[in-house]
Chain A
Amino acid sequence: MTLYERFIAAFITGERWKLYLSGLGITLEVALFAGILGIIIGTIMALMKLSTTEDGKPTILNYIASIYIDVIRGTPSVLQLLIMWFIIMASSNNGILVASLSFGINSGAYVSEIVRGGILAVDKGQMEAGRSLGLSKATTMRYIILPQAIKNIIPPLGNEFITLIKETAIVGYVSLTDLTRVANQIASRTYDAFMPLIGAAVIYFVIIKLLTIFLGKLERRMRRSDNR
């Protein structure tokens, strides 16, 4: 078979390109839900980990967040996904929901460290100034610290989201037909692994390249208030 024929077999015959597209849809859907959930969990965990009493002692929230981060970072994400699918949410057969939850909880642990780092990088004097005016810790955090921390958070957060998109390639384990699984299925049907696998790789690459360009623009826009 010529390269051209192999290409036709992998992408055109039986409108197979539609399968790649629907696979990509699943990939992006899971990544997006998980990403949003990860940011929410991560921000809450970061604030919990930074919480102290007025005299600077750690609180119980601290320990809860630390345990969560340790457990999630200390176990493989494939296992977390399988545990969610077969044990915790065994009664559900909504793969998208289970995968989004599992990846969201996983991502939250990494995002929380990103958010925590971003907050700690804001000059300590900003919090002191807010407190000296009589503002509470929470108010100062919301109006002064977090808006500044976001600039530190966006670049590594983009990185985390890129990792997340690629990590979803294991959702085949919970019977979701994502981009990677589509490529694999077509490869076994056409007895030709080259075209579908390389094709899927190119699609991942293009999506992530586009995302990288978008994040670069976003980052530059957010830095604008730094150089007036």
Chain B
Amino acid sequence: MITVKNLCKEFKNTDGTVTKVLQGINYEINQGEKIVIVGPSGSGKSTFLRCLNMMERPTSGQIIFDGVDITDKKVDINKVRERMGMVFQNFNLFNNLTVMQNIILAPVKLKIMTEAEAREKAKKLLERVNLLDKADVYPISLSGGQKQRIAIVRSLCMNPEVMLFDEPTSALDPEMVGEVLDVMKQLADDGMTMVVVTHEMGFAREVATKVLFVDEGNILEENTPKEFFENPQSKRLQEFLSKVL
């Protein structure tokens, strides 16, 4: 479904030096897989995820989504993004719109659905995350956990083929992490293709089909969750796991 070929990303620093955040990543994500990416902060895992829908423009390399190289400047990236949902660490709900307006804005403006259809779908999705009663409030009055569940609903309303999660629980109070992870697990059970950057090792163990360990811009290790956690190969991963588990 998504093939990543030799993906490199460099950032120019203010002093003129160059930081190589991704150093030639190759990976293949298949339909229905749940890929969980873990790694120390600054390892490039978020940058990798953000390259998948071109929120970050790669310095070199290819990202092939459904047979099309989306790093090509001729590709209409907006059309591609309609098919890839993204959930952010800081929720990024539109502050000037109600929950319902947040959800239906994109499908209606992009003429994917009529307003009535979008509202109908939004209601169903809100019901699934137990937030139908919040449809007409503004994001300011929601808790972090509620915001993130609505952000997930907003992405889902576009009927995406794959969902990208960028540390979806990192900005939450601990008691709200569970409610968001539950929604994500539900989504996984429904067969959604997911790529998740997270520090929640429990989620990785339970939901992932593959866990990736990213360090210094490379995929250092890739394995099934069982092998990944019980039998880490590299010294670097062993050290990492001993710190976080």
Q: Please report A residues at the B interface, Cβ cutoff 8 Å.
A: 54-56, 123, 125-126, 128-136, 139, 143-144, 147-148, 225-228
Stretch binding the partner chain, chosen from B22-30, B93-101, B119-127, B207-215: B93-101
B55 in contact with A144 (CB, 8 Å):
no
B110 at the interface (CB under 8 A from A): yes
| Further contacts, 12 of them, CB under 8 A, given A133-B85, A225-B138 | A123-B92, A123-B95, A125-B91, A129-B92, A132-B55, A133-B155, A134-B79, A134-B80, A134-B158, A135-B105, A144-B96, A147-B96
Within 8 A of A (CB), among B13-41: none
Closest residue on chain B to residue A143 by CB atoms: B105
Chain B contributes a number of interface residues (CB within 8 A of A) equal to: 35
- Interface mask (B189-223 → A, CB under 8 Å = 1, otherwise 0): 00000000000000000000000000000000000
A126 in contact with B141 (CB, 8 Å):
no
A sample of 19 inter-chain contacts (CB < 8 A) reads A54-B77, A123-B95, A126-B92, A128-B92, A129-B92, A132-B55, A132-B81, A132-B88, A133-B81, A133-B85, A133-B105, A133-B106, A134-B80, A134-B81, A134-B110, A134-B158, A136-B78, A148-B96, A225-B96
Interface SS of chain B: helix, strand, loop or mixed? Answer: loop
B137 at the interface (CB under 8 A from A): yes
Interface SS of chain A: helix, strand, loop or mixed? Answer: helix
Kindly state the separation between the CA atoms of A89 and B91 in the bound complex, as whole angstroms. Answer: 53
Residues of A within 8 A of B77 (CB): 54
Q: Please report B residues at the A interface, Cβ cutoff 8 Å.
A: 53, 55, 57, 73, 77-86, 88, 90-97, 105-106, 109-110, 137-138, 140-141, 151, 154-155, 158
